[in-house]
Amino acid sequence: MALSSCSGFLDKYPDNSIPADEAIQTPEDAQFYIMGLYSAFKNSALYSGSMTLAADIQCDFMYTVQGANNVYSDVYRWELKPTTGEVENVYAGLYYIISRVNFFFDRIGQVEAAYTDEDDVELLNKCKGDAYFARALAYADLLRFYCKAYDPDTAKDELGMSLIYTYEEEGLNVLRSSLYDTYQQVLSDLAQAEKLITRDVANSIYFTIGAVNALYARTYLYMQDWDNAIKYSTEVIDNSIYSLSDSFAASTASADVSEYQYMWMYDSSNEVIWKVGFTATSLGGSLSSVFHNYDYTAYYPDLVPAQWVLDLYDQSSDARYSTFFVEQTTGYASGLTWPLFIGKYWSNPNLNSTNAYTFVNEPKVFRLSEQYLIRAEAYWHNGEYELASQDLTAVRKKRILGYGEYSATGETLLEEIKTERVKELYMEGFRLMDLKRWGEGFRRTPQMYSISGPDELDIKADNPMFVWPIPQHELDAVPGLQPNESN
Protein backbone atom coordinates (compact mmCIF):
# COMPACT_ATOMS: atom_id res chain seq x y z
CA MET A 1 0.00 0.00 0.00
CA ALA A 2 2.83 2.37 0.84
CA LEU A 3 4.54 1.67 -2.48
CA SER A 4 1.36 2.26 -4.45
CA SER A 5 1.15 5.75 -3.02
CA CYS A 6 4.57 6.68 -4.41
CA SER A 7 4.00 7.86 -7.95
CA GLY A 8 6.48 6.32 -10.39
CA PHE A 9 8.40 4.50 -7.64
CA LEU A 10 9.08 1.42 -9.73
CA ASP A 11 10.34 3.57 -12.62
CA LYS A 12 13.16 5.11 -10.58
CA TYR A 13 16.74 3.85 -10.91
CA PRO A 14 19.13 3.36 -7.99
CA ASP A 15 21.21 6.45 -7.26
CA ASN A 16 24.40 4.67 -8.34
CA SER A 17 23.07 3.31 -11.65
CA ILE A 18 22.64 4.75 -15.14
CA PRO A 19 20.29 3.32 -17.77
CA ALA A 20 22.31 1.64 -20.52
CA ASP A 21 20.91 3.86 -23.24
CA GLU A 22 22.03 6.95 -21.32
CA ALA A 23 25.56 5.75 -20.65
CA ILE A 24 28.66 7.17 -22.39
CA GLN A 25 27.20 10.32 -23.90
CA THR A 26 30.20 12.62 -23.50
CA PRO A 27 34.02 12.28 -23.58
CA GLU A 28 34.02 12.60 -19.79
CA ASP A 29 31.52 9.73 -19.57
CA ALA A 30 33.87 7.66 -21.71
CA GLN A 31 36.79 8.44 -19.40
CA PHE A 32 34.82 7.44 -16.30
CA TYR A 33 33.73 4.25 -18.04
CA ILE A 34 37.32 3.29 -18.84
CA MET A 35 38.27 3.85 -15.20
CA GLY A 36 35.60 1.30 -14.36
CA LEU A 37 37.09 -1.04 -16.93
CA TYR A 38 40.44 -0.85 -15.14
CA SER A 39 38.66 -1.82 -11.92
CA ALA A 40 37.49 -5.05 -13.57
CA PHE A 41 41.11 -6.23 -13.57
CA LYS A 42 41.05 -6.20 -9.75
CA ASN A 43 38.79 -9.26 -9.83
CA SER A 44 40.34 -11.82 -7.46
CA ALA A 45 39.62 -14.57 -10.01
CA LEU A 46 42.19 -12.96 -12.30
CA TYR A 47 45.65 -11.51 -11.69
CA SER A 48 45.33 -11.18 -7.93
CA GLY A 49 44.09 -14.73 -7.43
CA SER A 50 42.99 -17.83 -9.29
CA MET A 51 44.28 -17.09 -12.76
CA THR A 52 47.80 -16.38 -11.52
CA LEU A 53 48.02 -19.10 -8.88
CA ALA A 54 46.08 -21.98 -10.45
CA ALA A 55 48.30 -22.07 -13.54
CA ASP A 56 51.31 -22.92 -11.37
CA ILE A 57 49.59 -24.93 -8.63
CA GLN A 58 48.16 -27.25 -11.28
CA CYS A 59 51.68 -28.16 -12.35
CA ASP A 60 54.76 -29.01 -10.31
CA PHE A 61 55.60 -25.80 -8.44
CA MET A 62 53.71 -26.49 -5.19
CA TYR A 63 52.70 -29.38 -2.93
CA THR A 64 49.61 -29.56 -0.75
CA VAL A 65 50.50 -30.46 2.84
CA GLN A 66 48.74 -32.66 5.36
CA GLY A 67 46.21 -30.71 7.43
CA ALA A 68 45.70 -28.07 4.75
CA ASN A 69 42.35 -26.64 3.72
CA ASN A 70 40.68 -27.95 0.60
CA VAL A 71 41.77 -25.10 -1.67
CA TYR A 72 42.60 -25.49 -5.36
CA SER A 73 41.91 -29.20 -4.85
CA ASP A 74 40.44 -29.91 -8.30
CA VAL A 75 43.26 -27.97 -9.90
CA TYR A 76 46.00 -29.64 -7.86
CA ARG A 77 44.62 -33.16 -8.40
CA TRP A 78 44.11 -32.64 -12.15
CA GLU A 79 40.41 -33.31 -11.66
CA LEU A 80 39.16 -30.14 -13.30
CA LYS A 81 35.48 -30.14 -14.11
CA PRO A 82 33.27 -27.77 -16.13
CA THR A 83 31.86 -26.67 -12.75
CA THR A 84 35.18 -26.17 -10.94
CA GLY A 85 35.25 -22.70 -9.39
CA GLU A 86 38.54 -21.63 -10.96
CA VAL A 87 37.39 -22.82 -14.39
CA GLU A 88 34.14 -20.86 -14.16
CA ASN A 89 35.48 -17.73 -12.50
CA VAL A 90 38.48 -17.11 -14.73
CA TYR A 91 36.32 -17.59 -17.83
CA ALA A 92 33.62 -15.29 -16.47
CA GLY A 93 36.09 -12.64 -15.31
CA LEU A 94 37.82 -12.40 -18.69
CA TYR A 95 34.61 -12.38 -20.73
CA TYR A 96 33.22 -9.73 -18.38
CA ILE A 97 36.11 -7.48 -19.44
CA ILE A 98 35.38 -8.26 -23.10
CA SER A 99 31.70 -7.51 -22.53
CA ARG A 100 32.50 -4.13 -20.98
CA VAL A 101 34.79 -3.27 -23.89
CA ASN A 102 32.08 -4.22 -26.38
CA PHE A 103 29.53 -2.07 -24.53
CA PHE A 104 31.97 0.82 -24.84
CA PHE A 105 32.47 0.36 -28.58
CA ASP A 106 28.74 -0.01 -29.18
CA ARG A 107 28.29 3.54 -27.89
CA ILE A 108 31.50 5.45 -28.53
CA GLY A 109 30.68 6.18 -32.18
CA GLN A 110 27.83 8.51 -31.31
CA VAL A 111 30.06 10.41 -28.89
CA GLU A 112 32.77 10.81 -31.55
CA ALA A 113 30.17 12.16 -33.97
CA ALA A 114 28.96 14.74 -31.47
CA TYR A 115 32.31 15.88 -30.06
CA THR A 116 34.92 16.90 -32.63
CA ASP A 117 36.97 19.41 -30.63
CA GLU A 118 40.69 18.52 -30.68
CA ASP A 119 40.88 17.93 -26.91
CA ASP A 120 37.76 15.75 -26.99
CA VAL A 121 39.12 13.70 -29.88
CA GLU A 122 42.39 13.19 -28.02
CA LEU A 123 40.59 12.02 -24.87
CA LEU A 124 38.32 9.66 -26.82
CA ASN A 125 41.31 8.17 -28.64
CA LYS A 126 43.01 7.48 -25.30
CA CYS A 127 39.88 5.73 -24.08
CA LYS A 128 39.61 3.68 -27.25
CA GLY A 129 43.26 2.66 -27.01
CA ASP A 130 42.76 1.40 -23.46
CA ALA A 131 39.65 -0.51 -24.49
CA TYR A 132 41.39 -2.21 -27.40
CA PHE A 133 44.27 -3.27 -25.17
CA ALA A 134 41.96 -4.57 -22.44
CA ARG A 135 40.16 -6.79 -24.94
CA ALA A 136 43.43 -8.03 -26.43
CA LEU A 137 44.72 -8.96 -22.99
CA ALA A 138 41.49 -10.73 -22.02
CA TYR A 139 41.49 -12.85 -25.17
CA ALA A 140 45.21 -13.56 -24.79
CA ASP A 141 44.59 -14.96 -21.30
CA LEU A 142 41.57 -17.00 -22.42
CA LEU A 143 43.86 -18.59 -25.01
CA ARG A 144 46.34 -19.60 -22.30
CA PHE A 145 43.80 -21.59 -20.34
CA TYR A 146 41.02 -22.78 -22.63
CA CYS A 147 42.89 -23.56 -25.85
CA LYS A 148 45.69 -25.78 -27.06
CA ALA A 149 49.18 -24.44 -27.66
CA TYR A 150 49.57 -22.68 -31.00
CA ASP A 151 51.04 -24.70 -33.86
CA PRO A 152 51.29 -22.68 -37.09
CA ASP A 153 50.59 -25.81 -39.13
CA THR A 154 47.32 -26.69 -37.38
CA ALA A 155 46.06 -23.44 -35.79
CA LYS A 156 43.32 -22.94 -38.37
CA ASP A 157 41.88 -26.36 -37.52
CA GLU A 158 41.97 -26.06 -33.71
CA LEU A 159 39.35 -24.47 -31.47
CA GLY A 160 39.90 -20.93 -30.28
CA MET A 161 37.47 -18.78 -28.31
CA SER A 162 34.09 -17.23 -29.06
CA LEU A 163 34.85 -13.89 -30.67
CA ILE A 164 32.19 -11.43 -29.53
CA TYR A 165 32.14 -7.88 -30.85
CA THR A 166 28.89 -6.44 -29.50
CA TYR A 167 27.27 -6.13 -26.12
CA GLU A 168 23.80 -6.57 -27.56
CA GLU A 169 22.18 -9.86 -26.62
CA GLU A 170 21.78 -11.15 -30.15
CA GLY A 171 25.56 -11.04 -30.60
CA LEU A 172 26.46 -13.18 -27.61
CA ASN A 173 25.38 -16.68 -28.63
CA VAL A 174 28.26 -17.32 -30.99
CA LEU A 175 30.30 -20.47 -31.48
CA ARG A 176 34.04 -20.76 -31.07
CA SER A 177 36.35 -19.44 -33.75
CA SER A 178 39.56 -21.15 -34.77
CA LEU A 179 42.73 -20.85 -32.71
CA TYR A 180 44.28 -18.92 -35.61
CA ASP A 181 41.43 -16.41 -35.77
CA THR A 182 41.49 -15.84 -32.02
CA TYR A 183 45.20 -15.06 -32.05
CA GLN A 184 44.58 -12.76 -35.01
CA GLN A 185 41.93 -10.96 -32.94
CA VAL A 186 44.52 -10.34 -30.21
CA LEU A 187 46.93 -8.95 -32.79
CA SER A 188 44.20 -6.84 -34.40
CA ASP A 189 43.24 -5.23 -31.10
CA LEU A 190 46.90 -4.64 -30.29
CA ALA A 191 47.40 -2.96 -33.65
CA GLN A 192 44.59 -0.52 -32.80
CA ALA A 193 45.92 0.03 -29.30
CA GLU A 194 49.39 0.70 -30.70
CA LYS A 195 48.00 3.59 -32.77
CA LEU A 196 46.11 5.20 -29.89
CA ILE A 197 48.07 4.62 -26.67
CA THR A 198 50.75 7.24 -26.13
CA ARG A 199 51.65 6.81 -22.45
CA ASP A 200 55.30 5.83 -22.02
CA VAL A 201 56.14 5.45 -18.35
CA ALA A 202 57.41 2.62 -16.17
CA ASN A 203 55.60 1.14 -13.17
CA SER A 204 52.27 2.19 -14.66
CA ILE A 205 48.78 1.27 -13.50
CA TYR A 206 47.50 2.49 -16.87
CA PHE A 207 48.12 0.81 -20.22
CA THR A 208 51.23 2.09 -21.97
CA ILE A 209 52.96 1.55 -25.28
CA GLY A 210 55.39 -0.61 -23.32
CA ALA A 211 52.54 -2.87 -22.23
CA VAL A 212 51.36 -3.09 -25.84
CA ASN A 213 54.82 -4.17 -27.00
CA ALA A 214 55.15 -6.59 -24.07
CA LEU A 215 51.89 -8.33 -24.94
CA TYR A 216 52.89 -8.39 -28.60
CA ALA A 217 56.15 -10.13 -27.64
CA ARG A 218 54.43 -12.67 -25.39
CA THR A 219 51.77 -13.41 -28.01
CA TYR A 220 54.28 -13.87 -30.81
CA LEU A 221 56.37 -16.17 -28.59
CA TYR A 222 53.29 -18.34 -28.05
CA MET A 223 52.64 -18.25 -31.82
CA GLN A 224 56.21 -19.42 -32.54
CA ASP A 225 56.80 -16.25 -34.55
CA TRP A 226 60.35 -15.79 -33.35
CA ASP A 227 61.21 -12.73 -35.45
CA ASN A 228 58.29 -10.70 -34.16
CA ALA A 229 58.86 -11.90 -30.60
CA ILE A 230 62.40 -10.53 -30.88
CA LYS A 231 61.18 -7.31 -32.51
CA TYR A 232 58.68 -6.38 -29.83
CA SER A 233 60.65 -7.57 -26.79
CA THR A 234 63.53 -5.47 -28.12
CA GLU A 235 61.22 -2.44 -28.27
CA VAL A 236 60.67 -2.86 -24.54
CA ILE A 237 64.24 -3.73 -23.60
CA ASP A 238 65.72 -0.82 -25.55
CA ASN A 239 63.32 1.68 -23.99
CA SER A 240 65.45 3.53 -21.45
CA ILE A 241 62.55 4.10 -19.05
CA TYR A 242 62.76 0.42 -18.05
CA SER A 243 65.59 -1.22 -16.15
CA LEU A 244 66.04 -4.51 -14.35
CA SER A 245 65.88 -4.14 -10.58
CA ASP A 246 69.25 -4.71 -8.98
CA SER A 247 69.19 -7.30 -6.22
CA PHE A 248 72.30 -5.87 -4.60
CA ALA A 249 71.91 -2.11 -5.00
CA ALA A 250 70.06 -0.34 -2.22
CA SER A 251 66.72 1.09 -3.20
CA THR A 252 66.67 4.87 -3.36
CA ALA A 253 63.24 4.75 -1.71
CA SER A 254 64.34 2.61 1.23
CA ALA A 255 68.02 2.02 1.91
CA ASP A 256 67.20 -1.00 4.09
CA VAL A 257 66.29 -3.17 1.10
CA SER A 258 67.54 -3.72 -2.42
CA GLU A 259 65.81 -2.45 -5.54
CA TYR A 260 64.58 -5.97 -6.21
CA GLN A 261 63.19 -6.47 -2.71
CA TYR A 262 61.55 -3.08 -2.83
CA MET A 263 59.76 -4.03 -6.06
CA TRP A 264 58.04 -6.96 -4.35
CA MET A 265 57.48 -5.24 -1.00
CA TYR A 266 56.11 -1.93 -2.27
CA ASP A 267 55.10 -2.87 -5.84
CA SER A 268 57.26 -0.15 -7.33
CA SER A 269 60.13 -0.43 -9.78
CA ASN A 270 61.25 0.69 -13.21
CA GLU A 271 61.27 -3.01 -14.07
CA VAL A 272 57.47 -3.08 -13.88
CA ILE A 273 55.80 -2.37 -17.22
CA TRP A 274 52.16 -2.63 -16.16
CA LYS A 275 50.56 -3.61 -12.87
CA VAL A 276 46.98 -3.77 -11.64
CA GLY A 277 46.57 -0.70 -9.46
CA PHE A 278 45.21 -1.06 -5.93
CA THR A 279 44.65 1.49 -3.19
CA ALA A 280 44.12 0.98 0.51
CA THR A 281 40.39 1.43 -0.02
CA SER A 282 40.14 -0.49 -3.30
CA LEU A 283 41.90 -3.84 -3.21
CA GLY A 284 41.93 -7.00 -5.25
CA GLY A 285 42.60 -10.50 -3.97
CA SER A 286 45.50 -11.91 -1.98
CA LEU A 287 48.22 -13.83 -3.80
CA SER A 288 49.92 -14.96 -0.61
CA SER A 289 47.29 -16.17 1.87
CA VAL A 290 47.16 -19.80 0.72
CA PHE A 291 50.92 -20.04 1.19
CA HIS A 292 50.88 -19.10 4.87
CA ASN A 293 47.37 -18.62 6.35
CA TYR A 294 49.12 -16.66 9.07
CA ASP A 295 46.86 -15.99 12.06
CA TYR A 296 49.38 -13.71 13.82
CA THR A 297 50.42 -16.68 15.94
CA ALA A 298 51.43 -19.44 13.54
CA TYR A 299 51.58 -20.37 9.85
CA TYR A 300 49.20 -22.93 8.33
CA PRO A 301 50.12 -23.06 4.64
CA ASP A 302 47.87 -24.92 2.23
CA LEU A 303 50.75 -25.31 -0.20
CA VAL A 304 54.52 -25.28 0.11
CA PRO A 305 57.21 -24.93 -2.58
CA ALA A 306 58.41 -28.03 -4.37
CA GLN A 307 61.84 -29.17 -3.26
CA TRP A 308 63.07 -29.37 -6.85
CA VAL A 309 62.29 -25.68 -7.32
CA LEU A 310 64.12 -24.72 -4.14
CA ASP A 311 67.13 -26.70 -5.32
CA LEU A 312 67.39 -24.64 -8.51
CA TYR A 313 68.51 -21.55 -6.59
CA ASP A 314 71.97 -21.02 -5.19
CA GLN A 315 70.82 -20.08 -1.71
CA SER A 316 74.05 -18.27 -0.87
CA SER A 317 74.16 -15.98 -3.91
CA ASP A 318 70.77 -15.87 -5.67
CA ALA A 319 68.81 -13.00 -4.14
CA ARG A 320 65.55 -14.46 -5.39
CA TYR A 321 65.76 -17.27 -2.87
CA SER A 322 65.94 -15.01 0.18
CA THR A 323 63.35 -12.67 -1.34
CA PHE A 324 60.78 -15.37 -2.12
CA PHE A 325 61.23 -17.96 0.63
CA VAL A 326 61.31 -17.74 4.42
CA GLU A 327 61.84 -20.89 6.50
CA GLN A 328 59.18 -21.25 9.18
CA THR A 329 57.94 -23.93 11.53
CA THR A 330 54.23 -24.32 10.84
CA GLY A 331 51.45 -24.65 13.40
CA TYR A 332 50.50 -28.12 12.17
CA ALA A 333 50.73 -31.09 14.54
CA SER A 334 53.45 -32.50 12.29
CA GLY A 335 55.67 -29.55 13.14
CA LEU A 336 56.55 -29.20 9.48
CA THR A 337 59.40 -26.74 8.97
CA TRP A 338 59.80 -25.55 5.41
CA PRO A 339 60.85 -22.55 3.30
CA LEU A 340 57.41 -20.99 2.83
CA PHE A 341 56.61 -18.89 -0.21
CA ILE A 342 55.77 -15.71 1.66
CA GLY A 343 58.25 -13.11 0.46
CA LYS A 344 57.14 -12.35 -3.07
CA TYR A 345 53.56 -11.45 -2.23
CA TRP A 346 53.63 -10.91 1.54
CA SER A 347 51.76 -7.61 1.96
CA ASN A 348 52.42 -4.13 0.64
CA PRO A 349 52.65 -1.92 3.77
CA ASN A 350 50.92 0.90 1.88
CA LEU A 351 47.88 -1.33 1.42
CA ASN A 352 47.65 -2.58 5.01
CA SER A 353 45.06 -1.37 7.46
CA THR A 354 46.07 0.41 10.66
CA ASN A 355 46.71 -2.73 12.70
CA ALA A 356 46.45 -5.65 10.29
CA TYR A 357 48.04 -7.08 7.18
CA THR A 358 45.91 -7.27 4.07
CA PHE A 359 48.31 -9.81 2.50
CA VAL A 360 47.75 -7.95 -0.76
CA ASN A 361 50.20 -6.77 -3.41
CA GLU A 362 49.60 -5.23 -6.80
CA PRO A 363 49.94 -7.92 -9.50
CA LYS A 364 52.78 -7.12 -11.89
CA VAL A 365 51.36 -8.44 -15.15
CA PHE A 366 54.29 -7.38 -17.34
CA ARG A 367 57.88 -7.10 -16.16
CA LEU A 368 61.09 -6.41 -18.05
CA SER A 369 62.74 -9.66 -17.01
CA GLU A 370 60.06 -11.65 -18.84
CA GLN A 371 60.88 -9.71 -22.00
CA TYR A 372 64.55 -10.69 -21.72
CA LEU A 373 63.54 -14.33 -21.35
CA ILE A 374 61.10 -14.09 -24.27
CA ARG A 375 63.85 -12.70 -26.46
CA ALA A 376 66.38 -15.26 -25.27
CA GLU A 377 64.04 -18.11 -26.19
CA ALA A 378 63.23 -16.57 -29.57
CA TYR A 379 66.91 -15.97 -30.29
CA TRP A 380 67.56 -19.63 -29.47
CA HIS A 381 64.97 -20.80 -31.97
CA ASN A 382 66.59 -18.59 -34.60
CA GLY A 383 69.97 -20.17 -33.86
CA GLU A 384 71.37 -16.93 -32.42
CA TYR A 385 72.90 -18.61 -29.39
CA GLU A 386 75.30 -15.83 -28.44
CA LEU A 387 72.52 -13.26 -28.27
CA ALA A 388 70.32 -15.66 -26.30
CA SER A 389 73.18 -16.22 -23.85
CA GLN A 390 73.63 -12.48 -23.43
CA ASP A 391 69.96 -12.00 -22.49
CA LEU A 392 70.16 -14.83 -20.00
CA THR A 393 73.30 -13.29 -18.53
CA ALA A 394 71.61 -9.88 -18.24
CA VAL A 395 68.90 -11.27 -15.97
CA ARG A 396 71.28 -13.37 -13.87
CA LYS A 397 73.69 -10.50 -13.26
CA LYS A 398 70.87 -8.59 -11.53
CA ARG A 399 69.81 -11.55 -9.43
CA ILE A 400 72.95 -13.55 -8.58
CA LEU A 401 75.81 -12.01 -6.60
CA GLY A 402 79.07 -11.93 -8.51
CA TYR A 403 77.63 -13.58 -11.61
CA GLY A 404 79.96 -13.51 -14.62
CA GLU A 405 79.13 -14.36 -18.22
CA TYR A 406 77.17 -17.34 -19.52
CA SER A 407 77.57 -18.82 -22.95
CA ALA A 408 76.16 -22.04 -24.34
CA THR A 409 74.59 -23.51 -27.45
CA GLY A 410 72.06 -26.16 -28.46
CA GLU A 411 69.82 -27.98 -26.00
CA THR A 412 71.99 -27.00 -23.03
CA LEU A 413 71.19 -23.35 -23.61
CA LEU A 414 67.47 -23.97 -24.10
CA GLU A 415 67.27 -25.90 -20.84
CA GLU A 416 68.97 -23.02 -19.04
CA ILE A 417 66.43 -20.56 -20.48
CA LYS A 418 63.59 -22.80 -19.32
CA THR A 419 65.16 -23.09 -15.87
CA GLU A 420 65.54 -19.33 -15.65
CA ARG A 421 61.83 -18.91 -16.42
CA VAL A 422 61.10 -21.12 -13.41
CA LYS A 423 63.36 -19.18 -11.08
CA GLU A 424 62.45 -15.70 -12.28
CA LEU A 425 58.70 -16.10 -12.92
CA TYR A 426 57.90 -18.50 -10.08
CA MET A 427 54.21 -18.40 -9.11
CA GLU A 428 53.42 -15.62 -11.59
CA GLY A 429 51.13 -17.83 -13.66
CA PHE A 430 53.31 -19.00 -16.56
CA ARG A 431 54.02 -22.67 -15.85
CA LEU A 432 50.89 -24.28 -17.34
CA MET A 433 51.29 -22.46 -20.66
CA ASP A 434 55.05 -23.02 -20.74
CA LEU A 435 54.75 -26.79 -20.35
CA LYS A 436 51.88 -26.89 -22.84
CA ARG A 437 53.73 -24.97 -25.55
CA TRP A 438 56.99 -26.87 -24.92
CA GLY A 439 55.12 -30.16 -25.24
CA GLU A 440 56.30 -31.35 -21.82
CA GLY A 441 54.63 -33.16 -18.95
CA PHE A 442 55.90 -33.52 -15.40
CA ARG A 443 56.04 -35.91 -12.47
CA ARG A 444 55.58 -35.03 -8.84
CA THR A 445 57.80 -36.75 -6.28
CA PRO A 446 56.44 -37.07 -2.72
CA GLN A 447 58.05 -34.74 -0.22
CA MET A 448 57.76 -34.19 3.53
CA TYR A 449 54.13 -34.29 4.74
CA SER A 450 52.68 -33.93 1.25
CA ILE A 451 49.30 -35.43 0.36
CA SER A 452 49.52 -39.03 -0.79
CA GLY A 453 48.18 -39.58 -4.29
CA PRO A 454 48.39 -36.14 -5.90
CA ASP A 455 52.05 -35.93 -4.83
CA GLU A 456 52.81 -38.79 -7.22
CA LEU A 457 51.02 -37.55 -10.32
CA ASP A 458 52.72 -38.45 -13.59
CA ILE A 459 51.29 -36.07 -16.19
CA LYS A 460 52.06 -36.67 -19.84
CA ALA A 461 52.35 -33.85 -22.37
CA ASP A 462 49.15 -34.91 -24.14
CA ASN A 463 46.98 -34.85 -21.02
CA PRO A 464 43.70 -33.12 -21.99
CA MET A 465 43.63 -31.16 -18.71
CA PHE A 466 46.40 -28.89 -20.00
CA VAL A 467 43.41 -27.25 -21.69
CA TRP A 468 40.78 -26.25 -19.16
CA PRO A 469 37.14 -27.30 -19.73
CA ILE A 470 34.65 -24.79 -21.07
CA PRO A 471 32.32 -23.97 -18.13
CA GLN A 472 29.13 -26.02 -18.10
CA HIS A 473 26.87 -23.00 -17.72
CA GLU A 474 28.34 -21.63 -20.94
CA LEU A 475 27.69 -24.88 -22.80
CA ASP A 476 24.14 -24.90 -21.48
CA ALA A 477 23.53 -21.28 -22.46
CA VAL A 478 24.92 -21.40 -26.01
CA PRO A 479 23.46 -24.20 -28.14
CA GLY A 480 26.13 -25.95 -30.17
CA LEU A 481 29.10 -24.37 -28.33
CA GLN A 482 32.00 -26.75 -28.79
CA PRO A 483 33.50 -28.21 -25.58
CA ASN A 484 37.12 -29.13 -25.02
CA GLU A 485 38.37 -32.68 -24.67
CA SER A 486 38.75 -32.00 -20.93
CA ASN A 487 34.99 -31.45 -20.68
Is 255 part of a structural domain of the chain? Answer: yes
Q: What's the pLDDT score for residue 169? A: 59
Q: Please report the pLDDT score of residue 171 as a whole number.
A: 58
Q: How far is CA 156 from CA 148, 425, 486, in A?
A: 12, 31, 20
Residue 11 lies in a domain: no
**Would you state the torsion angle of the CA atoms of residues 310, 315, 317, 321, taken in this order, to the nearest 10 degrees?**
50
Q: What is the CATH number of the domain that holds 364?
A: 1.25.40.390
Give pLDDT, residue 17.
Answer: 59
Tell me which residue range forms the domain holding 64.
Answer: 21-477
Handedness of CA 51, 55, 58, 64 (dihedral sign): negative
Q: Is residue 484 one of the residues assigned to a domain?
A: no
In the prediction, which pLDDT does 22 show? 75
What pLDDT does 1 receive?
A: 32
Query: Is residue 247 in some structural domain?
Result: yes
181 near 159, Cβ under 8 Å?
no
Residue-wise pLDDT tens for the chain (487 aa)? Answer: 344 444 444 444 445 556 777 789 999 999 999 999 999 999 999 999 999 999 999 999 999 999 888 899 999 999 999 999 999 999 999 999 999 999 999 999 999 999 999 999 999 999 999 999 999 999 999 999 999 999 999 999 999 999 999 887 555 678 999 999 999 999 999 999 999 999 999 999 999 999 999 999 999 999 999 999 999 999 999 999 999 999 999 988 887 899 999 999 999 999 999 999 999 999 999 999 999 999 999 999 999 999 999 999 999 999 999 999 999 999 999 999 999 999 999 999 999 988 889 999 999 999 999 999 999 999 999 999 999 999 999 999 999 999 999 999 999 999 999 999 999 999 999 999 999 999 999 999 999 999 999 999 999 999 999 999 999 999 999 999 999 999 9
The β-bridge relationship of strands 272-275 and 325-329 is unpaired
- Residue 13 belongs to a domain: no
In a domain, 446, yes or no: yes
How many structural domains comprise the chain? Answer: 1
One-letter identity of residue 164: I
In a domain, 355, yes or no: yes
**pLDDT score recorded for residue 275:** 98
> Exposure pattern of 340-354 as b/e (b: 16+ CB <10 Å)?
bbbbbbbbbeebeee
Tell me, what's the pLDDT at 252? 86
pLDDT of res. 429: 97
Residue 7 located in a structural domain:
no
